[in-house]
Amino acid sequence: MTPANPTHDHKNLAAAWFEDLRNQICATFETIEDELTGKFADRPAGRFERKAWSRASSPGTDSGGGVMSIMRGRVFEKVGVNISTVHGTFSQELAQTIPGAAADPHFWAAGISLVAHMQNPHVPAVHMNTRHIVTTKAWFGGGADLTPMFPNDQDTSDFHAALRTVCDRHAPNYYRDFKAWCDQYFHLRHRNEPRGVGGIFFDNLDSGDWEADYDFTRDVGLGFLDIYPQLVRRHMNRLWTKDDREHQLIRRGRYVEFNLLYDRGTQFGLKTGGNVEAILMSLPPEVRWP
């Protein structure tokens, strides 16, 4: 049952889940850091560092904030896992483009956003994000997509199978629709190139059953947490060459191009006075445009 205005409990539940998922992901990624036996095993295993930020606001006004978790490790060259819970008022211009905000520009939003850039060029980069947004309407959004430097059918197939399993548990059309949305969204128009091998992407999800949408959103996070570590462990001890690394650094340039030219989260964050350090944590640690 969805109330006309989602209750305080719904907001608390969603925000608490994003924090819980963050904790599970960080713990798993630190365990992977411990397991490395390949190149860089002589370096110390990486650990996440946390940094809280508050949203810029009028003095005396609480408008929320977030916590960045970043790890610069020996498997994960740079991985950011951000959670945030913010509220405020959209600018008049932005309010016209957001569901339910044209008449009343107040909003509440919470989410988790993750981008991992890996040391080993044979380990795919990955992005996962889920969020809950409340205006006079309330909805969920998010997704996960894989960006291998050297795509291979097994990884692509396993990543999609995991997301399909999650989707099929909730609605027969979700995987087909959200995979197509992902392909359309993560596309570099200026190069007519996909960013990676896809995944799922969804937004404005409001089926009328808040609990069901919340469960689906949680399952997307858990599905990601199940499959991505498998792909990391599959490849993280493989050797790589200088040419492999060069290829990786060039492919990362495409990631930067997408995030700065097209990514709606980046544009939204920078336009709403979000935390620049948190928003741009998605940018790779080292990149080449030779």
Query: Pairing between strand 138-147 and 193-194?
Result: unpaired
Query: Interface with a second copy includes 78 (CB under 8 A)?
Result: yes
**Cβ closer to a second copy: 72 or 106?**
72
Active-site hit among 127, 132, 160, 235: 127
Cα 24 to Cα 19, 20, 27, 251: the distances in Å are 9, 6, 5, 29
Point out which span in 34-42, 60-68, 95-103, 281-289 binds a second copy (CB under 8 A). 281-289
Query: Interface with a second copy includes 290 (CB under 8 A)?
Result: yes
Query: Interface with a second copy includes 72 (CB under 8 A)?
Result: yes
Query: Interface with a second copy includes 191 (CB under 8 A)?
Result: yes
Query: Interface with a second copy includes 288 (CB under 8 A)?
Result: yes
3-state secondary structure of 219: helix
Minimum Å gap between C-beta 40 and a second copy is 17
Q: How many residues does the chain have?
A: 290
Size of the site for a second copy (CB under 8 A): 23
**Cβ closer to a second copy: 99 or 273?**
273
Query: Interface with a second copy includes 94 (CB under 8 A)?
Result: no
Q: In what order do the strands lie in the sheet with 138-147?
A: 49-54, 64-71, 76-89, 106-118, 125-134, 138-147, 198-205
Query: Interface with a second copy includes 247 (CB under 8 A)?
Result: no
In sequence order, what DSSP letters do the residues of 86-133 get, joined into one string?
EEEE--HHHHTTSTT-SS--EEEEEEEEEEEEESSTTSPEEEEEEEEE
Please say if 190 is a catalytic residue.
no
**Cβ closer to a second copy: 51 or 137?**
51
Minimum Å gap between C-beta 190 and a second copy is 4
Point out which span in 50-58, 135-143, 195-203, 274-282 binds a second copy (CB under 8 A). 274-282
Region of 28 on the Ramachandran plot (φ > 0 left; ψ -120 to 50 alpha; else beta): alpha
Region of 273 on the Ramachandran plot (φ > 0 left; ψ -120 to 50 alpha; else beta): left
Query: Interface with a second copy includes 246 (CB under 8 A)?
Result: no
CA 130/CA 234 separation, integer angstroms: 26
CA 112/CA 195 separation, integer angstroms: 21
Q: List residues binding a second copy (CB under 8 A).
A: 72, 78, 189-191, 249, 253, 256-257, 260-261, 270, 276, 279-280, 283-290
Active site residues: 127
